[in-house]
Amino acid sequence: MIVTGAASGMGAATARLFAEHGARLTLFDMNEAALKEVADATGGTPVAINLAEGPQVKAAVDAAAKAMGGLDGIVNAAGILRLKPIEDISFEEQDMLLRVNVGGVANMVRAALPHLQASGNATIVNFASYGAYRPGTGLSIYGATKAGVIAMAKSLINDIGPAVRINTICPGVIQTPMNQPRIDSGHLSKERMEGINQLGRYGQATEVAEAALFLTGPESSFMSNAVLEVSGGQLN
């Protein structure tokens, strides 16, 4: 199993939960120091990598599959957020959002597919966002990249055959380092959260990791091409 974005937030929570369930893990992230901590805690093999760099991703996935004796799943949790109105997003930021959030997932899927198909019974879990299909202030380009993640899976099922299930998780507002600046600035205050989802609170990374575990395990054996919102009932 390869988990990307494993150094932080939901990727780290997924890695920890999968390790508790006995998974053999390779952990991809560009934050080498934080990744080492999660690797130490989970027994996973850390790989410091920029997922936007396709050839590097291909080499790293091939090496991970070889070291693990095959590959039966990937969880693509890595992503970046630039929360700004479109006129304030620079061309460089726009390119980076597309290269990481869409390109990073495509690079992983392309590299992993031959190994996943060879395993005969494999899963892909991608992280999109509620921002893919709901209006969010400052989320236009980010939301477009996450809609791209959903659209990618919708078309991929025509190509990948019956050996690989592919599903997408759309988290709502989750308390992770990605959101910490918004929490610190009061943009996502506890009071504001009451109006954001039905449950009136931030989601926890572990609550989303449980969905990734479900979509990877036999309990979801007839699920493919699903988009699962884990948002506490996002209201807008």
Ligand X SMILES: NC(=O)c1ccc[n+]([C@@H]2O[C@H](COP(=O)([O-])OP(=O)(O)OC[C@H]3O[C@@H](n4cnc5c(N)ncnc54)[C@H](O)[C@@H]3O)[C@@H](O)[C@H]2O)c1
d(CA 152, CA 168) in angstroms, rounded, equals: 10
Which region holds residue 233: left if phi is over 0, alpha if psi is between -120 and 50, else beta?
A: left
Of the pair 44, 171, the CB lying nearest ligand X is at 171
Number of C-beta neighbours around residue 218 at 10 A: 7
Tokens of 157: 């099922």
Burial class of 144 by CB neighbour count within 10 A (0 to 12, 13 to 18, 19+): middle
d(CA 163, CA 209) in angstroms, rounded, equals: 23
d(CA 215, CA 233) in angstroms, rounded, equals: 19
Q: First-to-last CA distance in the chain?
A: 34
Of the pair 156, 188, the CB lying nearest ligand X is at 188
Shortest Å, Cβ 52 to ligand X: 5
Tokens of 198: 């039905």
Of the pair 162, 190, the CB lying nearest ligand X is at 190
Shortest Å, Cβ 71 to ligand X: 18
Residues that bind ligand X (CB under 6 A): 5, 7-11, 29-31, 49-52, 77-81, 100, 104, 127, 129, 171, 173-174, 176-179
Of the pair 72, 229, the CB lying nearest ligand X is at 229
Shortest Å, Cβ 116 to ligand X: 20
d(CA 6, CA 8) in angstroms, rounded, equals: 6
Of the pair 59, 118, the CB lying nearest ligand X is at 59
Our CA dihedral for 23, 24, 27, 33, rounded to 10 degrees, sits at 100
- Catalytically active residues are 142
